[in-house]
Structure formats: structure tokens, C-alpha cells
Amino acid sequence: MSERKVDFLVIGSGIAGLSFALKAADHGKVLIVTKSNEDESNTKYAQGGVAAVVDKSDSFEQHIIDTQIAGDGLCDVNIVENVVREAPERINELISYGTSFDKSDSGFYDLAKEGGHSANRILHYKDITGYEIERSLLQKIHEHPNIEIDVLNKFYGRTAAELHLTIQDIVGLDPLAVETHFKDFLHKHPQLTARQVQFLNLLQAYISQNGGIMIDKLYEAPFTGVHPQSIDGLFTPDDVTDLIHVMKPFVKKQPPEQRIA
């Protein structure tokens, strides 16, 4: 298997990953790995636009107030202030990368007013703002000599499934996705005991944080802390079979050097 040595590994090709890659490329070699197609990301499908104070009649203070009101007091005020005050600079950065935003006949940006905003401050490109941002960032990525981008089924000559497991090891899994996957088991077993629920919650948390689990791990801490015999002591043999089946997409293969001949 060939190896590729880089200074920065970026997982994902949305606005966050591509923006980071462009900055990191000034300090070393960057490799971006992504799924299926390089432009396949949530960024591509974002439509409405980007909110920023770019008009003289608007103010950071008002944008912050609007955001706090829309957030019903749940927003972290420090984060809100940082995001709002940095927004114009980030917009200029996107424009410098080649992103286009619609302008009116007068030559000024055609700012829209949406949601909880009290002023026109939404920059947009037609109704495909995310697509335009993704397009411009990818163009800059391809122009940069320090950046490579590759899709899963090409990376290191490995299969997409094998690399996906590697990425899970690094970043973990979405807890909500893991929880959703276990719902059928919970519906099938509505009369779970408190310790069984504790075990399942622990199992889902472990899978989310570690990107999966090896079956042998079930018989170690922290699972044996719920019951000394772990899964076998908490569930019937049939229930264990059902649970292992549910876990199957998340089960990691044991490394070759650890396998018993």
C-alpha cells in the first residue's frame, strides 16, 4: 500500500474544510479527503444566503440584538458577538476567493431581509448561494500547489468502506445517528430495566465517541461496571443476538496483530 505524507489532513469538503485547507496550505502540505464527489457537502445545498453587516445603515449591535432575540436567550452572547463582528471579514474573504453575490442595478449588494433580522443584511447568489460558495472555494483549492483533494474510494488505494472506518476512528460518529439506529431495538424491548438502559446508553456513547466498537470491548470497563458479565449478564441470549445485529454496522475488525490464530 502506498503512503502519502502531508502536514494537514482535512476530512470533508464543505465550507469549513475548504476554508481551513486554504489557510493551512500556507504552512504545509494539505490533503482533503471527502465522500463520493468533492463538491458533495451540506454547503452545496444551502440556498438562502449569509447574514453580515455590510451596509452603513446597519450595525453590529443591532445584528447581535436580533440574534439574541431569535435565539430566545439560549445563545452564548460571546459567540454571537464574535460571529457577528467577524462576518464582514469572512464575506470579504469569500469574495477574494471568487464568490459572487447578487448586486442591484445601483451596483450595491442586493441585501435581503429574512427571519428575525430587523435590517436587510442577507447576501445571496440567486437561490444557490451555497453552490456558489462551494464552486469558488473548490476552484481556489485546485489552483493551490500545496493542496490535494481525493475522494474515499481512491485514497491510498483502499476501499471507501475501509477509509470510512478510519475517518470514524478520528472524528467519531454523530450521536443522533447512532441513537436513531438503536431505536428499533428499543421499540422491540419496551420493558428494559434501569441497568439495561444504562448499558445501552453507555454503548451508544462509546460508539459515538470512538467511531465504532470491537466486540471484545464489551467485556471490559466501562461495560463490566454495569454488570460483571456485561451484555451476557444483562440480556437473554436472544436479546444479545438482536443487539449484536443492531451493532453490526459499528463493529470494528480486530487488528491483525491482535487476532488469535
Block residue for cell numbers 469574495: 95
Structural domain contains residue 241 = yes
Question: Residue 176's pLDDT band (boundaries 50, 70, 90)?
Answer: confident
Q: What gap in Å lies between CA 251 and CA 235, rounded to an integer?
A: 19
Predicted confidence (pLDDT) at residue 143 exceeds the cutoff of 90: yes
Residues in Cβ contact with 176 at an 8 Å cutoff, skipping those fewer than 6 apart: none
Beta-carbon neighbour count of residue 241 at 10 Å?
11
Residue 167: band (very low, low, confident or very high) from pLDDT cuts 50, 70, 90: low
Residue 255: what pLDDT? Answer: 55
For residue 15, give the amino acid letter: I
For the chain, give the percent of residues with pLDDT over 90: 64
Please compute the mean of the pLDDT values over residues 14-28 and round it to a whole number.
96
* pTM, 2 dp: 0.61
DSSP-assigned letter for residue 255: P
What is the predicted pLDDT for the residue at 87? 97
Q: Would strands 122-123 and 50-51 be described as parallel, antiparallel, or unpaired? A: antiparallel
Whether residues 160 and 223 share a domain: the answer is no
Q: Is 2 contained in some domain?
A: no
Q: Decide which of 65 and 155 is more confident.
A: 65
Same domain, 121 and 55: yes
Min mean pLDDT across 18-32, 157-171, 220-234, 241-255 is at 157-171
Cα 137 → chain centroid: 18
Query: Does 1 fall in a domain?
Result: no
Residues 176-181: contacts with CB under 8 Å, at least 24 apart: 178/204, 178/207, 178/208, 178/250, 179/204, 181/246, 181/249, 181/250
- Say whether pLDDT at 144 is over 70: yes
Question: For the segment 200-249, what is each residue's pLDDT rounded down to a tens digit?
Answer: 999 999 988 888 899 999 999 999 999 999 999 999 999 999 999 999 88
Structural domain contains residue 3: no
Instruction: Let me know if 121 is exposed, middle or buried by CB neighbors in 10 A (0-12, 13-18, 19+).
Output: buried
Average pLDDT score over residue span 129-141: 96
Contact 51, 117 (CB under 8 A): yes
Q: Write the CATH number for 16.
A: 3.50.50.60
- Summarize pLDDT for 87-129 with one digit per residue, the tens: 999 999 999 999 999 999 999 999 999 989 999 999 999 989 9
Q: Which domain holds residue 29?
A: 8-43+136-169
Rounded CA-CA distance 250/246 in Å is 9
Number of domains in the chain: 3
Whether residue 36 is found in the same domain as residue 152 = yes
Going by their DSSP bridges, the two strands 122-123 and 8-11 should be labelled as unpaired
In a domain, 61, yes or no: yes
Whether residue 67 is found in the same domain as residue 142? no
Would you say residue 67 has pLDDT above 90?
yes
Both 99 and 151 in one domain: the answer is: no
